[in-house]
Amino acid sequence: MTSLTQLITPACLLDLTRFRHNCRRMQAVAEAEQLTLRPHVKTLKSLQAAEYYAPASGPITVSTLAEAAAFASAGYTDILYAVGLSPNKFPHLAAIQRLAPDFTVIADSLVAVNALTDYASELALPLSVMLEVDVDNHRAGLLPDSKELIACASTLAESPDIHFRGIMTHAGASYDCDSKTAQQAMGRQECERISQAATQLLKAGIPCKLISAGSTPTALADIKHTGINELRAGVYATFDCVMAGLGVCEASDIALSVLTSVIGHQLDKNEVIVDAGWMALSRDQGTASHQQDCGYGLVCDEHGKLLDGWYVSGTNQEHGIIRHRENLTPPASIFAYGSLLRILPIHACATAAQYSRYHVIGEDGTLSDVWSRVNGW
Amino acid sequence: MTSLTQLITPACLLDLTRFRHNCRRMQAVAEAEQLTLRPHVKTLKSLQAAEYYAPASGPITVSTLAEAAAFASAGYTDILYAVGLSPNKFPHLAAIQRLAPDFTVIADSLVAVNALTDYASELALPLSVMLEVDVDNHRAGLLPDSKELIACASTLAESPDIHFRGIMTHAGASYDCDSKTAQQAMGRQECERISQAATQLLKAGIPCKLISAGSTPTALADIKHTGINELRAGVYATFDCVMAGLGVCEASDIALSVLTSVIGHQLDKNEVIVDAGWMALSRDQGTASHQQDCGYGLVCDEHGKLLDGWYVSGTNQEHGIIRHRENLTPPASIFAYGSLLRILPIHACATAAQYSRYHVIGEDGTLSDVWSRVNGW
């Protein structure tokens, strides 16, 4: 069996125990509230990982057509592609739809709805569409009380080539909510505004079968998710330093890490140099605005035990620089040349994206499997 | 022939005309100064691209063993792996060395030198090693006047299993030099300090065959590179917004771009939403400290013409937000739903890393080729 010391560093590790614990936590929320859970598979993009938190042929969310195609090929039939579609992607819908009849795309403008409706007439099956609603002035979506929302829904509902499934939203602003109170408030806002949109549509004679909302912080906020029937979230499966910084999880819940080797030192600067640079960790610095800036990642020993105060303070392409918050001298017992360390990611979606596979650490602490990842678009 | 409108966006484009122009510019510097040019292939990591700026079997620099193996298989024999080596990579050296006899690794400490020297006795061929010198207090390397430098060189020179090739440095601090004067000064410092190291070694009876230095800003600084015999640089082949911000190139020299589609708008905020998020552009924000912050990239029309003042102000995983510096309303003629745009990368090495291939735009402006990329470690 391969051991950690035989891997070429940097390598991406997935701790199965933590991962399963995280998956169960979100499943428990959905079950308690009798909501359909539609996990977003965009963090790990792995068919083998999805068996644990989004088994076929349950509903899933994807972020690329490449994921949609891969999961459709693996037997998933209800796939929501949660990014607005550009016309150059239309020719790729038919092949996915043939494998996954409930493959669903989204739109958030009349111009996009009209383009989809026109194109759908060329498809053999009705095209499933949901409308994106803006609940937090964050990025995309139609306003809940807008006339354009009703116009879009009417156009979709009336088209013989479209299957209008309902409305969806994602309160991305929850990533800036740094207290439980703020996360609860954002969770309530997300549910209230999307149900307001559903009410508007119902008044216009257009029922929404699916009312779908979610982000990891709002899904795990201690609130009742009233007015929705489907919960979506993704990064909860692994968590990361951003989520830990927001208090959504503990650092000890983070299931993804980057295995790295010590390749040098600058002892006069109390710096340890490792072979995980931004290519291995990503350039994400999502905790820079947090109370505790974790730089490019928190440092653990090779077994995954957090080394208090040690973090990756800087990166180049293939070099990472580890320092202590209080400028301590790196103990030679931990940071000797050749020592293995694990770095907890700032943003798991970005770190995982730097790899084509995960080395899975089983419940007995040894490498148990290699899971692949669907990259590209 | 495929046209741009047939590509799934986001996609990575390489403008052959600009790329060749950039390659010739660096070649001219090396030729004028009679320096060996050892291009760093870490930006594009592409065998097909390397034919233009680092043809086999000329000397190259790589940043991963995966690159080393791929280029060795393609006939490159003189490959410098310019990242300190951890012991878990030792078992992979022999296979590369068999294909590339001048495959060379680096070290910057006596502990690493001793580990390499011990391991080299197990190899069939002498292991080529260079020592890394610190010329700018930036990251790694031995100080030019240090006793450890001499001790390392002595150990290597005396080992029957090692071929000591010389010394190398990289003035990474040049990326913070935002004027021509500062870049020239850093270029002179890089050359002076590494030749100081060479002089120290010569005094100790250890001649350096190779004295290798470089970074794109210092290599292109208008100075005479005195005291070195080899020039290394990488990002010059494509350039990027960081290099343009430092005045090393013009934005119109940038050969790499990301093709993206308009997928929506938030017209009340003067925002255009495109399908290139940080997954497509990378999280690099290397111009944040520049006089002009380019956010996540500068915006061009689909033909590559810069749209003055438009930039990617924010990103999520698969969404990019385009705004104008002066909050202008996005003209519908340019930013209509479905329109194609090109985004110039902040840091080409990071953006290119998000892809497995490049769509090459030939000198007639049409797609002429697809070049592959060596990812992973």
pLDDT for A194-226, tens place per residue? 999 999 999 999 999 999 999 999 999 999 999
Task: Specify the pLDDT at position A138.
Answer: 83
Residue A182 lies in a domain: yes
Classified as helix, coil or strand, A317 is coil
B207 and B265 co-located in one domain = no
Residue B271 makes CB contacts below 8 A (sequence gap 6+) with B265, B313, B321, B322, B323, B330
The answer to whether A317 contacts B63, with C-beta atoms less than 8 Å apart, is yes
Residue B28 lies in a domain: yes
Among chain A residues, CA nearest to B321: A139
Contact B282, B341 (CB under 8 A): no
Task: Specify the pLDDT at position B139.
Answer: 82
Q: For residue A285, what are its two tokens?
A: 């610095």
Residue A95 lies in a domain: yes
Task: Specify the pLDDT at position B1.
Answer: 62
Residue A377 lies in a domain: no
The DSSP bridge pattern shows strands B36-37 and A79-81 to be: unpaired
B281 and B367 co-located in one domain = yes
Is residue A44 pLDDT above 80, yes or no?
Answer: yes
Chain A touched by B3 (CB under 8 Å):
no
Chain A touched by B15 (CB under 8 Å):
no
Q: Alpha carbon of B42 to those of A256, B100, B218: distances in Å?
A: 26, 18, 18
Residue ending a domain, choose from B199, B216, B237: B237
Q: For residue A248, what are its two tokens?
A: 């959504």
The amino acid at B88: N
Buried b / exposed e over A250-265, threshold 16 CB at 10 Å, is ebebbbbbbbbbbbbb
B259 and B214 co-located in one domain = no
B182 and B310 co-located in one domain = no
Question: Which of A10, A139, A353 is opposite residue B279, by nearest beta carbon?
Answer: A353
The whole-angstrom separation of Cα A131 and Cα B26 is 51
pLDDT band at A367 (very low <50, low <70, confident <90, very high): very high
Among B2, B5, B8, which would you mutate to test the A interface (most chain A Cβ atoms within 10 Å of its Cβ)? B8
Q: Alpha carbon of A370 to those of A70, A319, B377: distances in Å?
A: 18, 25, 16
State which H helix or E strand residue B266 sits in: strand B256-266
Residue B242 lies in a domain: no
Question: Which of B139, B318, B354 is opposite residue A319, by nearest beta carbon?
Answer: B139
Q: For residue B235, what are its two tokens?
A: 């990002």
Is residue A2 pLDDT above 90, yes or no?
Answer: no
The answer to whether A265 contacts B109, with C-beta atoms less than 8 Å apart, is yes
Question: Which of B10, B42, B284 is opposite residue A283, by nearest beta carbon?
Answer: B284
Buried b / exposed e over B198-225, threshold 16 CB at 10 Å, is bebbeeeebebebbbbbbbbbbbbebeb
Chain B touched by A291 (CB under 8 Å):
no
Q: Alpha carbon of A82 to those of A68, A288, B242: distances in Å?
A: 10, 28, 32
A162 and A97 co-located in one domain = yes
Q: What is the CATH number of the domain that holds A94?
A: 3.20.20.10
Residues on chain B touching A105 (C-beta within 8 angstroms) = none
Residues on chain A touching B284 (C-beta within 8 angstroms) = 278, 283
Please, is B121 exposed, middle or buried when counting C-beta atoms within 10 Å of its C-beta (0-12, 13-18, 19+)? exposed
Chain A touched by B11 (CB under 8 Å):
yes
The DSSP bridge pattern shows strands B271-274 and B36-37 to be: unpaired
B57 and B205 co-located in one domain = yes
Please, is A289 exposed, middle or buried when counting C-beta atoms within 10 Å of its C-beta (0-12, 13-18, 19+)? exposed
CA dihedral sign of residues A334, A338, A342, A348: positive
**Residue A144 C-alpha from the chain's centroid:** 25
What confidence tens digit (pLDDT) does each residue in A101-112 have?
A: 999 999 999 999
Task: Specify the pLDDT at position A63.
Answer: 98
Partners of A126 in beta bridges: none
Q: What is the CATH number of the domain that holds B317?
A: 2.40.37.20
Is residue A1 pLDDT above 80, yes or no?
Answer: no
Closest CA to A163 of A153, A172, A148, A173: A153
Q: Could you say which DSSP state residue B142 is in?
A: B
| pLDDT tens digit at each of 377 positions of chain B | 679 999 999 999 999 999 999 999 999 999 999 999 999 999 999 999 999 999 998 999 999 999 999 999 999 999 999 999 999 999 999 999 999 999 999 999 999 999 999 999 999 999 999 999 999 988 899 999 999 999 999 999 999 999 999 999 999 899 999 999 999 999 999 999 999 999 999 999 999 999 999 999 999 999 999 999 999 999 999 999 999 999 999 999 999 999 999 999 999 999 999 999 999 999 999 999 999 999 999 999 999 999 999 999 999 999 999 999 999 999 999 999 999 999 999 999 999 999 999 999 998 999 999 999 999 99
Classified as helix, coil or strand, B307 is strand
Contact B111, B119 (CB under 8 A): no
The answer to whether A337 contacts B5, with C-beta atoms less than 8 Å apart, is no
What confidence tens digit (pLDDT) does each residue in B224-234 have?
A: 999 999 999 99
The answer to whether B263 contacts A355, with C-beta atoms less than 8 Å apart, is no
Task: Give long-range contacts, CB 8 A cutoff, 24+ apart: A175-182.
Answer: A175/A215, A175/A217, A175/A242, A175/A246, A175/A286, A177/A217, A177/A246, A178/A245, A178/A246, A178/A247, A178/A290, A178/A291, A179/A247, A180/A221, A180/A222, A180/A247
CA dihedral sign of residues B256, A349, A257, B295: positive
Number of H helices, E strands in chain B: 12, 17
Buried b / exposed e over B62-92, threshold 16 CB at 10 Å, is bbbbbbbbbbbeeebbbbbbbbbbbbbbbeb
A148 and A61 co-located in one domain = yes
Q: What's the number of domains chain B is made of?
A: 2
pLDDT higher at A139 or A249 = A249
Buried b / exposed e over B140-167, threshold 16 CB at 10 Å, is bbbbbeeeebbebbbbbbebebbbbbbb
Residues on chain A touching B261 (C-beta within 8 angstroms) = 86-89
The amino acid at B341: L
Residues on chain A touching B6 (C-beta within 8 angstroms) = 88
Question: Which of B7, B84, B88 is opposite residue A7, by nearest beta carbon?
Answer: B88
Longest dimension (CA), chain A: 72
B308 and B165 co-located in one domain = no
Q: What share of chain B is helix, strand, coil (3-state, %, to 5)?
A: 35, 25, 40
The answer to whether B377 contacts A8, with C-beta atoms less than 8 Å apart, is yes
Residues of the domain holding A309:
4-10+249-372
Task: Specify the pLDDT at position B230.
Answer: 98
Q: Could you say which DSSP state residue B286 is in?
A: T
pLDDT, averaged across chain A: 97
Residue B244 lies in a domain: no
Q: How many CB atoms sit inside 10 A of residue A198's CB?
A: 22
Size of interface A-B (CB pairs under 8 A): 161
- The per-residue DSSP string of B348-367 comes to HHHHHTT-SEEEEE-TTSSE
A268 and A209 co-located in one domain = no
Residue A151 lies in a domain: yes
The whole-angstrom separation of Cα B369 and Cα B377 is 26
Task: Give the phi and the psi of residue B80 in degrees, each rounded to 5.
Answer: -100, 115
B211 and B266 co-located in one domain = no
Q: How many CB atoms sit inside 10 A of residue A355's CB?
A: 21
B261 and B333 co-located in one domain = yes
Q: For residue B111, what are its two tokens?
A: 């502990």
Q: Could you say which DSSP state residue B59 is in?
A: -
Task: Specify the pLDDT at position A185.
Answer: 96
Residue ending a domain, choose from B186, B210, B237: B237
- The per-residue DSSP string of A254-303 comes to --EEEEEEEEEEEGGGTEEEES--HHHH-S--TTTTSSS--BT-EEEETT
Residue B243 lies in a domain: no
- For chain A, positions 110-129, list CB contacts with chain B under 8 A: 111-112, 115
The whole-angstrom separation of Cα A25 and Cα A184 is 17
Residue ending a domain, choose from A219, A238, A257: A238
Rounded to a whole number of angstroms, the distance from the CA of A268 to the nearest CA of chain B is 11
Rounded to a whole number of angstroms, the distance from the CA of B92 to the nearest CA of chain A is 9
B122 and B157 co-located in one domain = yes
Chain A touched by B316 (CB under 8 Å):
yes
Among B3, B85, B88, B106, which would you mutate to test the A interface (most chain A Cβ atoms within 10 Å of its Cβ)? B88
Chain B touched by A279 (CB under 8 Å):
yes
- For chain B, positions 142-161, list CB contacts with chain A under 8 A: none
Contact A343, A320 (CB under 8 A): yes
- For chain A, positions 334-353, list CB contacts with chain B under 8 A: 336-338, 340, 347, 349-350, 353
Is residue A373 pLDDT above 80, yes or no?
Answer: yes
The answer to whether A349 contacts B317, with C-beta atoms less than 8 Å apart, is yes
The amino acid at B230: E
Average pLDDT over residues A133-148: 93
- The per-residue DSSP string of B83-125 comes to SPPPGGGGGGHHHHHHH-TT-EEEE-SHHHHHHHHHHHTTSSS
